[in-house]
């Protein structure tokens, strides 16, 4: 399914020696993580290893104690909260449970981030929402409520909401969690086709090993709150690092 990505020395996300966390507690320590434009990179690791904190650090929703965080060529680790809006506009997030509003239709859910910012009129919002729903093949579900959708379609609605602001980076937190193998495969294709159709860079946090090896260009393994290896799926599958090898093969054993 995958095709090779171009060799590009310029990173759209660059985390150099990052230590981050919440309040006075450090979660990630001396972490290095670099992502190429239009790449699909997946972060794996055990529960509590800091995978979700990594995504929140990219969005600057965590405190950064030290290190450099560069997004699309701009260093942002030192920016104040009031100066982060333009950076966060470049990023969209698809949450583990899709995080849709139950009382809103698909159309209303997708329109929500545009309406909340009050930067567009109703006509322009409608045009933008319809465009992204059509691109994702969801236009027929525009008037449906979340509980009327399958798990896979809920994920797609969550993606539509993330894409409506035309970000260059999409962050996925456990996108196949709770889905059966057929639906998980559907979501895998969604992640891949989104990269192909929209040209976005994708950072995926997942413990679903079949999915990870299906769509990733590269995989980063995080253990003890820092990344200890990044490589192609083949390199990670055949890793000689003990923690990575044991994690990959223990998960494969559980899956079987």
Would you state the pLDDT for residue 3? Answer: 41
* 92 φ, ψ (degrees, to nearest 5): -125, 155
Burial of 113 (0-12, 13-18, 19+ CB in 10 A): middle
Which segments of the chain have a pLDDT < 50?
A: 1-8, 253-254, 256
Would you state the pLDDT for residue 186? Answer: 82
What the block records as the tokens of 173 is: 């937190």
Q: What is the C-alpha to C-alpha distance for residues 199 and 166, in angstroms, rounded to an integer?
A: 10
Would you state the pLDDT for residue 5? Answer: 41
Quick check: 42 and 61 in contact, CB under 8 A?
no
User: How do beta strands 169-173 and 91-94 pair?
Assistant: parallel
* 54 φ, ψ (degrees, to nearest 5): -60, -45
Would you state the pLDDT for residue 185? Answer: 85
Would you state the pLDDT for residue 97? Answer: 64
Q: pLDDT by residue (tens digit) across 69-92?
A: 999 999 999 999 999 989 998 999
Would you state the pLDDT for residue 183? Answer: 79
Chain position carrying tokens 């995926």: 204
Q: pLDDT by residue (tens digit) across 210-239?
A: 888 988 999 999 998 999 999 999 999 999
Would you state the pLDDT for residue 184? Answer: 83
């Amino acid at each position: 399914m995958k095709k090779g990505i171009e060799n590009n020395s310029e990173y759209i996300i660059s985390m150099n020696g990052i230590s981050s966390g919440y309040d006075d507690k450090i979660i990630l320590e001396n972490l290095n993580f670099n992502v190429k434009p239009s790449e699909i990179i997946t972060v794996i690791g055990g529960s509590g290893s800091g995978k979700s904190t990594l995504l929140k650090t990219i969005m600057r929703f965590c405190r950064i104690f030290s290190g450099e965080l560069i997004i699309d060529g701009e260093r942002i680790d030192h920016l104040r909260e009031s100066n982060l809006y333009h950076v966060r506009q470049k990023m969209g997030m698809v949450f583990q449970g899709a995080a849709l509003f139950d009382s809103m239709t698909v159309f209303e859910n997708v329109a929500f981030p545009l309406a909340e910012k009050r930067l567009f009129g109703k006509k322009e919002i409608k045009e933008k929402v319809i465009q992204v729903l059509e691109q994702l093949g969801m236009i027929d579900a525009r008037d449906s409520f979340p509980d009327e959708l399958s798990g896979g379609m809920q994920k797609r609605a969550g993606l539509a909401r993330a894409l409506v602001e035309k970000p260059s980076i999409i962050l996925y937190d456990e996108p196949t969690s709770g889905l059966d193998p057929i639906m998980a495969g559907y979501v895998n294709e969604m992640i891949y086709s989104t990269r192909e159709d929209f040209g976005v860079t994708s950072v995926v946090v997942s413990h679903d090993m079949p999915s990870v090896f299906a769509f990733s260009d590269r995989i980063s393994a995080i253990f003890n709150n820092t990344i200890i290896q990044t490589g192609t799926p083949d390199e990670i599958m055949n890793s000689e690092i003990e923690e990575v090898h044991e994690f990959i093969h223990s998960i494969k054993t559980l899956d079987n």
